[in-house]
Structure 1
Amino acid sequence: MKTLLFLAKGFETMEFSVFVDVMGWARNDYGYDVEVVTCGFQKQVISTFNIPVLVEKTIDEIDVNDYDALAIPGGFEEYGFYEEAYDEKFLKLIREFDKQGKIIATICVAALSVGKSGVLKGRRATTYHLKGAYRQKQLKEFGVNVVNEPIVVDKNIITSYCPETAPGVAFKLLEKLTSTEQMEIVKRDMGFDEEYRN
């Protein structure tokens, strides 16, 4: 199982790293077949707060048929996130993943890219809910049935409403790629299962 982890300029590192770490634990400690391939418009992507990250692939090298899922961290407008997150080339990639019924997992405002692509029209989703819920209002303008819940799953699409939900989205993606039982093992061993914390 291969996940394309797409980094638009101005992405949040916390929302990016959860996908790398959760899938990394699953692969390294349990041998799960969950590879992550990083991607951006350029080989070096500058995150929110100006941390440079080198990606493995550029968007022009991507064949959707090679991947089982698309993961998208959110980002900050002040750092240029929407310049690439709303780029038609990326929106086309999102449409192709959805057309093939492949999983699309987003954190926070990354749901706005999916909304803008048109694939969330008439479907349930969420996005950043604080500061007057202005991002949720934007998502609604794309014809989305906005639900004010931490994580919302509508068929193949996972959306969430703030950075705090990042691990939950990564675990939900792992669950969809493997099984509930396999995901629960990784979640427990990473310390996210309250029953096993003490």
Structure 2
Amino acid sequence: MKKILLLLSNGFEMLEASPFTDIFGWNSIVGSKNIQIVTGGIHPELTCTFNFKVIPEINLSINKINVEDFSALVIPGGFGFKNFFTDIKSDIFKEIIQEFNNQNKPILGICTGVFALGEAGILENIPATTYLLDNERYFKQLQNFKAISLKKDIIIHKNIITSSGPKTAFDLAWILLETLSTKETVRKVKKEMGF
């Protein structure tokens, strides 16, 4: 069984996480049936940006994971007023991201989730994108992490995939499903989900 770590912080954007839980959930019923989403966070309960409460399957403040047990890492973005940027600066987040990168496993940073990659120090000289519609502050932050900031919806660079916002989460989930299975599996899951 392949496993994906959905690394969640307080203030994460639900629409940037839910496509992964749904698509891989459907895949477990009608697709390859061999990929599992596992949620992890550094709190026993997380509050999403718009107040949904989520209990992560793994409380990473208590339980250490073995990155070798996982095939990919997904980090949804979020909003600062809900403490998103505090969690992504934690040593636990940084260590997990660095270990996934050391093992050359797919790492997906969605919207402001890309800043977790920057905090972990893995964006230097890497093309990356982030939220496109606010102002230049997010792209200046990418430059502070020494990333090559590009204003695109999705950027794939080796094992690192970054994207610009909630609308891209579905596309990234399909990309990851194809990476971990086949085009035929993606076609079948899309059909069964009504896409």
Distance in 2 (CA, whole Å) between partners of 1:145 and 1:176 is 24
Counterpart of 2:134?
131
Counterpart of 1:195?
none
The C-alpha deviation readout for 1:31-71, integer Å capped at 9, x for no partner, is: 43110111110221111122210111011331111111111
SS of equivalent residue, structure 1 residue 10: coil
Cα distance change, pair 153–50 in 1 and its aligned pair in 2 (3 A): same
Counterpart of 2:30?
29
- Name whichever structure is richer in helix by fraction: 1
Cα distance change, pair 124–181 in 1 and its aligned pair in 2 (3 A): farther
Q: How many residues align?
A: 192
Distance in 2 (CA, whole Å) between partners of 1:126 and 1:190 is 29
Which of 166, 176, 181 in structure 2 is aligned with 1:178?
Answer: 181
The C-alpha deviation readout for 1:76-96, integer Å capped at 9, x for no partner, is: 001000110111221111000
Which of 142, 146, 149 in structure 1 is aligned with 2:145?
Answer: 142
Counterpart of 2:115?
112
Q: Give the 5 Å matches for 1:15-164.
A: 15-59=16-60, 60-164=63-167
Distance in 2 (CA, whole Å) between partners of 1:32 and 1:158 is 24
Distance in 2 (CA, whole Å) between partners of 1:158 and 1:188 is 25
Distance in 2 (CA, whole Å) between partners of 1:188 and 1:128 is 30
Distance in 1 (CA, whole Å) between partners of 2:152 and 2:83 is 27
Q: Percent identity?
A: 39
1:14 offset after TM fit, Å? 1.0
- The one-letter code of the counterpart of 1:26 is N
1:184 offset after TM fit, Å? 3.0
Q: Can you give the 5+ residue segments of structure 2 that lack an aligned partner in the other structure?
A: none
Higher relative contact order (CA 8 A, sep 6+): 2
Contact 2:32 2:185 in 1 (8 A): no
1:189 offset after TM fit, Å? 3.4
Question: Over the residues paired in the alignment, what is the CA RMSD in angstroms?
Answer: 1.3
- The one-letter code of the counterpart of 1:165 is T
Q: Can you give the 5+ residue segments of structure 1 that lack an aligned partner in the other structure?
A: 193-198
